[in-house]
Amino acid sequence: MSAPLLDIANLRVSFPTPNGRVDVVKGLSLTLGRERLGIVGESGSGKSMTGRAILRLIRPPGRQAADRMIFDGIDLQAQGERAMRRLRGARISMIMQDPKFSLNPVMTVGAQIAEALRVHERLPRRDLRARVTEMLEAVRIHDPERVARMYPHEVSGGMGQRVMIAMMLIPRPDLLIADEPTSALDVSVQAQVLDLIDELVRNNGMGLILISHDLGLVARYCDRILVMNAGEVVESCAASELQNASHPYTRGLIAAVPRMEETRDELPVLDRSEWSGT
Amino acid sequence: MSAISLKNVDISYGDVRVVQGASFEVAEGESFALVGESGSGKSTVLKAIAGLAPDWTGEISVLDSPRSHRPDRSFASRCQMVFQDPYGSLHPRKTVDTTLAEPLAINGIGKRDAKVIEMLAAVGLDRRFRFRFPHQLSGGQRQRVAIARALMLEPRVMLLDEPTSALDVSVQAEILNLLKRLRREQGLTYLMVTHNLPVVSFMCDRMAVMNKGRIVEIAPSSALHDGSFTDAYARELYAASGGNPDRKDMP
């Protein structure tokens, strides 16, 4: 394999509290090629903050620092705000959790998708419209011209999330960060949206970081998995090896999920004392 | 005796008929699930039973007494509801103690002090939480308070509206264990709304699959083991949930 797409060493994110600064990400390191990486953890484990830190989107008073943060040969920490803005969206983009809060309610869907493209590329208006239609078709929206004229409140949750995906992929980024892309959606739509992300990522040879609390889902759609707890990576393994995970936290998480064919009378509960000392 | 019985129930919000022709029976002591996508009308069925969606026609009876369209105090002491979002369903300016004592005060029941302490122990909350406010509790602790509040009047039927979907898996396991233990200890009947099929497999005996306001199939939860649903939509929902990964021989 050539040089990795993303190389992070010892990433730390901290926020001030009345009792001093608290590290929410404590020294995370990862390298990512053009592959699919899953980050799993419970609320408060620092998984979303990791995603944001890659885009340098930690707002003050939060602070981030790393020994090394290199994306495709570019040192992300050395970039100014203007340079970062050129990277965000165009090279690295991020799908947020809830389409309801992430789309602009007073712009049509088509205009928003076109805006994402216009910021990074200069294109004649006709080409712009063609690219938007093509992208909406790629995310399997059947009547793209009609949907492009609709406002976010007129589309369903699943369709809204597809619009978000279209918006994030239209500048053809190299790395896609999907932060709980389907947790606001129904199970039946969830599978469709993830299959879609999966297909687009594979066809375009992109890197994907899928952030989720759902172990089963991450195991299904990723090649490699990082398990986070309290700001630290406690386990890193191939997705196919998840069932043989060794850390008690990972094993506890896996065991706590009910199965389709449930024979246990009681679900095992995480005993947090087992590793909290480490 | 049936704990909950619905016969040909239609439920409307204004001009929109959300649920059409819903009929099912839940036996006493049974745990029954309503599953389906958002917008399928599953929560609306619970709301109609609880009296929160009063615009319905047909027959609803709980513990063999017909349900009226109005709030009903004797109903409240026999049937209680737990809501999805523990962050929204507790009053932010009332302490746990006030929240739990309120149903007793409304119904003029004495020995509130002792009952609150007893119920906190039953749902696995330490006594030190008694005088805290909801914002001082975690999501799992709040859901325990919401369950404790529902149990204060010693109801026999519990309506559970996605009680764990806002929680982390490890906390979900704790709450599901708690609900299962309470049902065993107190002989409760559960009617639970969820979109998580593995939770149904763990908690429930039977389930009704809903789609676009109609019940398309009523199946035992053993159908989740091999996907033996007869209705096409129910099979689709099962497949979308990942099927049964423990059985590799199945498609």
Cα–Cα distance measured from residue A89 to residue A85, given in angstroms and rounded to the nearest whole number = 8
| Domains observed in chain B | 1-78+155-251 (3.40.50.300), 91-154 (no CATH)
Percentage of the residues of chain A whose pLDDT score is greater than 90 = 22
- Sheet with B157-161, strands from edge to edge, namely B79-82, B157-161, B189-194, B31-35, B206-211, B214-220
- B202 and A253: CB-CB below 8 Å? no
List pLDDT tens digits, range A204-244.
Answer: 888 999 998 888 888 888 999 999 988 889 889 898 888 88
Is beta strand B214-220 parallel, antiparallel or unpaired with respect to B65-66? unpaired
Note the ipTM here. 0.76
What is the nearest CA distance from B87 to chain A, expressed in angstroms? 15
Cα–Cα distance measured from residue A227 to residue A218, given in angstroms and rounded to the nearest whole number = 11
Q: DSSP assignment of A64-116, as one string?
A: EE-SEEEETTEEGGG--HHHHHHHBTTTEEEE-S-HHHHS-TTS-HHHHHHHH
- B240 and A187: CB-CB below 8 Å? yes
Q: Which residues of B touch A270 (CB under 8 A)?
A: 170, 173
Q: Which residues of B touch A252 (CB under 8 A)?
A: 170
Cα–Cα distance measured from residue B74 to residue B189, given in angstroms and rounded to the nearest whole number = 17
What is the nearest CA distance from A274 to chain B, expressed in angstroms? 14
Q: Position A195: which residue type?
A: D
Structure confidence at residue A277 (pLDDT):
39
Q: A158 in helix, strand or coil?
A: helix
Work out the angle at residue B248's Cα, subtended by the Cα atoms of residues B243 and B251, and round it to the nearest 5 degrees. Answer: 55
Q: B39 in helix, strand or coil?
A: coil
Work out the angle at residue A148's Cα, subtended by the Cα atoms of residues A145 and A153, and round it to the nearest 5 degrees. Answer: 135
DSSP element (H, E) containing B76:
helix B73-76
Q: Which residues of A touch B180 (CB under 8 A)?
A: 265-266
Interface residue B250 vs chain A (CB under 8 A): no
Q: DSSP assignment of B155-215, as one string?
A: -SEEEEESTTTTS-HHHHHHHHHHHHHHHHHHT-EEEEEES-HHHHHHH-SEEEEEETTEE
If you compute the radius of gyration of chain B from its CA atoms, what whole number of angstroms results? 18
Under 8 Å CB pairs connecting chains A and B tally to 87
Q: DSSP assignment of A247-275, as one string?
A: SHHHHHHHHHSPPSS---SS-----THHH
- B37 and A188: CB-CB below 8 Å? yes
Q: Which residues of B touch A256 (CB under 8 A)?
A: 169-170, 172-173
Residues B86, B139 contacting (CB under 8 angstroms): yes
List pLDDT tens digits, range A78-125.
Answer: 888 889 988 888 899 998 877 778 889 999 999 999 988 888 888 888
pLDDT at residue A273 is higher than 70: no
What is the nearest CA distance from B236 to chain A, expressed in angstroms? 8
Under 8 Å CB-to-CB from B68, ≥6 apart: which residues? none
Q: Residue A179: which region, alpha, beta or left (left: phi > 0; alpha: psi -120 to 50)?
A: beta
CA nearest to B165 within chain A: A183
Distances, alpha carbon B123 to alpha carbons A30, B147, B167, in Å: 41, 8, 16
Distances, alpha carbon B79 to alpha carbons B71, B75, B149, B184, B189, in Å: 12, 6, 12, 17, 9
What is the nearest CA distance from A231 to chain B, expressed in angstroms? 16
What is the nearest CA distance from A79 to chain B, expressed in angstroms? 36
- Could you say which residues of chain B have pLDDT below 50? 249-251
Structure confidence at residue B250 (pLDDT):
47
Looking at per-residue pLDDT, the higher value among A184 and B210 belongs to B210
- B177 and A42: CB-CB below 8 Å? no
Interface residue B236 vs chain A (CB under 8 A): yes
Residues A56, A84 contacting (CB under 8 angstroms): yes
Q: Position A205: which residue type?
A: G
- A267 and B177: CB-CB below 8 Å? yes
Structure confidence at residue B77 (pLDDT):
87
What is the nearest CA distance from B132 to chain A, expressed in angstroms? 20
Interface probe, candidates B40, B142, B168, chain A, greatest A C-beta count within 10 A: B168
- B202 and A258: CB-CB below 8 Å? yes
Interface residue A127 vs chain B (CB under 8 A): no
List pLDDT tens digits, range A6-60.
Answer: 999 999 999 998 888 888 899 999 999 888 999 998 887 888 889 889 999 888 8
Structure confidence at residue B251 (pLDDT):
44
Q: Which residues pair with B60 in a beta bridge?
A: B6
Closest CA to A246 of A273, A274, A267, A269: A274
Interface residue B37 vs chain A (CB under 8 A): yes
